[in-house]
Structures are given as C-alpha cells and as structure tokens.
Amino acid sequence: MTVKNYKHLLALFLFGFGTLVFYLWFINSSHFPGFLVWSQGNIIFYYFVLVLLKVIGIIWPPIPGGLLTLGSIPVLGWPLAYSADFFGSIVGSTVAYFLARKYGINFMKKIFDENTIEKLTKIRIKPHREIESLFLFRFFGGTIIEIICYGAGLLKVRFRNYLIATILSHIAIGIPAFYLTRNILAGRGILINLSLVTIMLILFFNLRHRYFEYSS
C-alpha cells in the first residue's frame, strides 16, 4: 500500500517491521507464559481489543491490525483469532467505505498519495461484475486492502455488492491464511504457502482485464 508520502511509507514499514520483531521476541521471552495466563483469564477483553485494533487498522493503515490478529493465534487458537480479524475487518471496511463515499477524494488525500488517487479514479468496475471484481481485488490485494475499501466508496460501488464481496473474500483468504500461519508457527506448511501465493498472483494477472477497465 502507498501512503501519502515517503515519510509515511517509511513509518508504515518501520511500524510493521518493529511489531513483527517485537512479536517474535515476545513469544520467545520469559514474559509470554505470564501474558498467556493473563489473556486466558481475560479472553473477552483481549478479544475485543483485537477487534478494535483491526477496525482501526483498516481505517488508518499504518496500524498493522492483521499482523496482531495473526500473532494472537498462539493465544486464542486460529479459529478465534480469525473471527476477531473477520469482525474487525467487516466493521473497518464498512466505515472506510462510507467515509470515502461521504467525503470523497479530499479525505482520501489525507491518507494516500496523489499517484494512488489518480490510478484509483481511472478504474472503472464493470457494473454487472461488481461482486466478482471486488472479490478479486480483495482476494489478490494483499497489502492494498485498505485502498480497496476506500476506493469502493469513492467509485460509488453499491454497498450490498461491496459487503458481499468483502465477506466472501475475507473467508476465502482468511481461513486458509490463519490455518497456514498456525502451521508455519509450528514449523509446517512454508512451501505450500509460497506455492499458493504464486498461483494467486498468476491467476490475478490473467483475469484482471475481465473485470476492470481503465479510463484514459
């Protein structure tokens, strides 16, 4: 994802990388067993904090909400961690959609750079393929999920179609991602994960013109 300028992009990278380093240090430190006991005793509070962070992470992209929910797999187990990511993503995506729909480009310029805004305004989603188009965008979007959420509102995509695509794509991405992450944390599934990513990129490259048009 591209943010407003290089300073913000650097901050995004450093924040995400720092979070990952801290996570890896923390789960291997002497503090983690105590945190695990505390989280199990306050699981409802911990769960809703995760959901809130995911919501904020969609609305304000530098916060790595997805990384935090993935990192909670050892604490909550992958099904419960995924559900926190799911509900946070749906709420955050809905808020981002309506913010862009109501306040338009001027609001998005506070978050994304001019080049991203320009490319986004040139995209024309075929009306009879809104669900498929948004599904593909989100399925293959990776780190640009937030742009897609705001972009759908900016492009006046029907909310019903947007919500359906958001739910379906999150299930299609999230369940395998959280399951594979559980395996990777246990030292399994690395080659499978890389193979799936490669297949998805090839599919998106071959299908993109079927669903998207770009105005000059």
Using an 8 Å Cβ cutoff, are 132 and 211 in contact? yes
C-alpha 5, offset from chain centre = 20
Element (H, E) at 125: strand 123-125
Q: What is the pLDDT of residue 185?
A: 66
For 158-198, the three-class secondary structure string (H helix, E strand, C coil) is CHHHHHHHHHHHHHHHHHHHHHHHHHHHCCCCHHHHHHHHH
Nearest residue to 23 (alpha-carbon basis) of 75, 80, 81: 75
Q: What is the pLDDT of residue 10?
A: 56
Q: What is the pLDDT of residue 87?
A: 95
Q: What is the pLDDT of residue 59?
A: 86
Q: What is the pLDDT of residue 207?
A: 54
Q: What is the pLDDT of residue 99?
A: 92
Using an 8 Å Cβ cutoff, are 99 and 55 in contact? no
Q: What is the pLDDT of residue 172?
A: 84
Pick out the chain residues at pLDDT < 50: 1-6, 142-143, 211-212, 214-216
Q: What is the pLDDT of residue 85?
A: 93
Sign of CA dihedral 78, 68, 1, 168: positive
What residues does each domain of the chain span? 6-211
Q: What is the pLDDT of residue 36?
A: 80
Q: What is the pLDDT of residue 50?
A: 92
Burial of 45 (0-12, 13-18, 19+ CB in 10 A): exposed
